[in-house]
Amino acid sequence: MATAGLHDSELGELQRRLIILRVGLLLVVALLALRLWHLQIREGPYYRDLSENNRTRSVIMEPARGLIYDRNGVLLANNVPSFTLYVSLEDVKNRELLIEQLTNLLGLDEALVRKKLTARGSKQLPRKVKDRLSLREATLIESHRLDLPGVMVQVESQRNYPGGVTASHLLGYVGEVSPEQLEKPEFADLHQGSIVGQYGVEKFFDRLVRGQAGQKSIEVDALGHEKRTVVVEQAHAGDNLYLTIDVRLQKVAENLLGEESGAIVALDPRTGDVLAMASRPGFDPNVLSRELTPKQWAEIVQNEGRPLNNRASQGQYPPGSVFKVMMAAAALESNTVTPSTTIHCNGGYQFGRRLYHDWKAGGHGSVDLRRALIQSCDVYFYTVGQRMGIETMASFAHMFGLGEETGIELPSERIGIVPSSAWKQKAKNEPWLPGETISASIGQGYVNVTPLQMASLIGTVANDGVTFRPRLVRAVMDRATGALEERPAVPKRTLKLRPEILPLIKEALAGVVTEGTATRAKSALVTIGGKTGTAQTTALSKEKRAEKDIPKKFRDHAWFVAFAPVDAPTIAVAVLGEHMGHGGSASAPLAKVLIETYVKLNLPAPAVVPDGAVVRDADAGGQDTR
């Protein structure tokens, strides 16, 4: 068997060489051990962190927005569950492929998806790609889950407005926080995809309604699939709002305007509570709160009816003869006239080379202040305005809250224009012309007001000179504690007028309805005082104006402001119908219907606790600031 004899010597050599293997083995193993020591001991904590990041994903839990109710606890805005599509960028292997897949699966706009996925921001936080997925879309995504690493479908609450178009301008709508908004400090705790109020009460009270986002730390596998939730930081729902509006009155107001453009505002003059605030045309906040394509958005913005414009607080119109209410008070207080001063009206007022017409050809004859208001005599007020001068007129207009914000809790309120020589110098860099005072004295020319300002003005008159800031939210309920915080009515200003002035004007305004220009507002149910206004929008000649077939856009704006009951007013109304013609014929009947509806509703004094909400203050129920 010993065949190895020839080279047995080599066996010995080989066996001696084993030392090379032994030393080499120990060296290499030592190297390996050193490397592993480096990885596991020296850099161990670093790699442990990496492995934690590998497996955990932060998922934001969007808070439920606070609910919004009307003054009687009728739900105006709530949240409904909906599917939202998120993409966790960390888990996306091939972004281009994913964009293509999502585009194909859901029929999304490719550019939009790309924008969402490539926008700057944290890579750790999942990106919201689409909300309001249909059930079909959600199941489609779920069934392709293995092919879509990093894609998650979350159930979230989606803002919902059960009333649809009702009170749309007031409630507003919500939308994703924009990149520009994110840079502002008040949105500092938000992130891309957060929902914030973008309009109306939703925007103004966003801080209260928004709530606080929670965070979920979930363990995922290498494909981004959720394995288990590791840590939960609960989301806190936003506060509930109880508005001052009565949705029944609101609907009536909106129906009264119907297809016309215009605004109706109803206030409680004793508190400033906004009982109704209608603006037509409106929009469906459910649609606006969805993600709109640029095309859909353009359609809304470019709509000639400007549905997104809240005409009540943002529409600016010449007040026309409604201005005479303020003028009457100014004339008496400034001693320009006394109640018994009479001025003869022959249908026109000659100033320089120009004749300023009265609305009534032939004139009203000799009128005192009371009759001038009842019949809306222009010549009387031309004369008064001329005597008073534009500066006095402007200072009284400011006293009545014109040319300034009413302070309503809505974004972007407009202030209108109270003209004066200083204003004209500043705005137009031109001197004031004396003839312009005459136009201004009947609420034409440069004078511009919002319907809300007019409602506030007539409310001030009705409330004997005390102005309340218009109030939209009468109580806020903290969702965490259940405590209901009543928000007090805020007196804004008290007119400094001699005490006999406002009663006299109120009596005259009652006369407007019983025997003057607004007999169409006369109600068998309740005594109403008011003032019509017919605001010219273009300088059409008298003859042209009389024609019935002039294009709608050249027709006059129809105003009517009113309060009721005359003795102890509880409601003040301003109606503006754009291009609806005469205030007395077009707007006064609308105000009458609204006021009668209000009377029939027989609202109790404010602050009925709705919906079983807990009242912190036991006797808060009767708080009524008069």
Whose tokens are 């909300």? That residue is 131
Of 55 and 522, nearer to other proteins (C-beta) is 55
Taking the C-alpha atoms of residue 264 and residue 302, their distance in angstroms, rounded to an integer, is: 24
Number of residues in contact with other proteins under rule CB under 8 A = 49
Tokens of 226: 């959720």
3-state DSSP assignment of residue 303:
coil
Taking the C-alpha atoms of residue 477 and residue 401, their distance in angstroms, rounded to an integer, is: 31
Of 92 and 575, nearer to other proteins (C-beta) is 92
Restricting to residues 75-94, name those near other proteins by CB under 8 A.
Answer: 93-94
The minimum distance between CB 221 and other proteins, in angstroms, equals: 4
* Residue 498 in contact with other proteins, rule: CB under 8 A: no
Taking the C-alpha atoms of residue 585 and residue 533, their distance in angstroms, rounded to an integer, is: 10
The minimum distance between CB 112 and other proteins, in angstroms, equals: 24
The minimum distance between CB 19 and other proteins, in angstroms, equals: 10
Whose tokens are 């005072």? That residue is 437
Of 26 and 546, nearer to other proteins (C-beta) is 26
Of 122 and 494, nearer to other proteins (C-beta) is 122
Quick check: 90 and 222 in contact, CB under 8 A?
Answer: no
For 362: left if phi > 0, alpha if psi spans -120 to 50, otherwise beta; the answer is left
Taking the C-alpha atoms of residue 531 and residue 264, their distance in angstroms, rounded to an integer, is: 15
Restricting to residues 208-227, name those near other proteins by CB under 8 A.
Answer: 219-223, 227
* Residue 37 in contact with other proteins, rule: CB under 8 A: yes
- Tell me, residue by residue from 456 to 475, as one string, x for binding to other proteins by CB under 8 A and - for no binding: --------------------
Taking the C-alpha atoms of residue 248 and residue 250, their distance in angstroms, rounded to an integer, is: 5
Of 49 and 391, nearer to other proteins (C-beta) is 49
Quick check: 380 and 343 in contact, CB under 8 A?
Answer: yes
Contact segment (CB under 8 A) with other proteins among 10-18, 135-143, 467-475, 564-572 equals 10-18
Beta strands in 179-323 (DSSP E): 195-197, 214-220, 226-233, 240-243, 262-268, 273-280
Spatial neighbors of 573 by CB under 8 A, at least 6 apart, are 264, 265, 266, 267, 455, 458, 530, 560, 561, 562, 563, 564, 591, 594, 595
* Residue 7 in contact with other proteins, rule: CB under 8 A: yes
* Residue 1 in contact with other proteins, rule: CB under 8 A: yes
The minimum distance between CB 207 and other proteins, in angstroms, equals: 40
Set 82, 289, 313, 321: catalytic member = 321
Would you give the DSSP letter of residue 287? H
Contact segment (CB under 8 A) with other proteins among 2-10, 70-78, 500-508, 523-531 equals 2-10
* Residue 544 in contact with other proteins, rule: CB under 8 A: no
Of 12 and 258, nearer to other proteins (C-beta) is 12
The minimum distance between CB 223 and other proteins, in angstroms, equals: 7
* Residue 123 in contact with other proteins, rule: CB under 8 A: no
Would you give the DSSP letter of residue 66? P
The minimum distance between CB 240 and other proteins, in angstroms, equals: 41
* Residue 404 in contact with other proteins, rule: CB under 8 A: no
* Residue 35 in contact with other proteins, rule: CB under 8 A: yes
Q: Is the peptide bond before 281 cis (omega within 30 degrees of 0)?
A: yes
The minimum distance between CB 229 and other proteins, in angstroms, equals: 14
Whose tokens are 């409601």? That residue is 571
Beta strands in 162-303 (DSSP E): 174-176, 195-197, 214-220, 226-233, 240-243, 262-268, 273-280
The minimum distance between CB 95 and other proteins, in angstroms, equals: 10
- Tell me, residue by residue from 169 to 208, as one string, x for binding to other proteins by CB under 8 A and - for no binding: ----------------------------------------
* Residue 111 in contact with other proteins, rule: CB under 8 A: no
The minimum distance between CB 45 and other proteins, in angstroms, equals: 7
* Residue 21 in contact with other proteins, rule: CB under 8 A: yes
* Residue 11 in contact with other proteins, rule: CB under 8 A: yes
Of 52 and 391, nearer to other proteins (C-beta) is 52
Quick check: 239 and 208 in contact, CB under 8 A?
Answer: yes
Q: Which helix (H) or strand (E) holds 80?
A: strand 75-87
Longest dimension (CA), the chain: 152
* Residue 482 in contact with other proteins, rule: CB under 8 A: no
* Residue 15 in contact with other proteins, rule: CB under 8 A: yes
Taking the C-alpha atoms of residue 487 and residue 239, their distance in angstroms, rounded to an integer, is: 14
* Catalytic residue flag (residue 122): no
* Residue 23 in contact with other proteins, rule: CB under 8 A: no
Taking the C-alpha atoms of residue 70 and residue 275, their distance in angstroms, rounded to an integer, is: 9
Return residues touching other proteins (CB under 8 A): 1-4, 6-8, 10-11, 13-15, 17-18, 20-22, 25-26, 28-29, 31-33, 35-37, 39-41, 43-48, 50-52, 54-55, 93-94, 219-223, 227
What are the residue numbers of the active site?
321
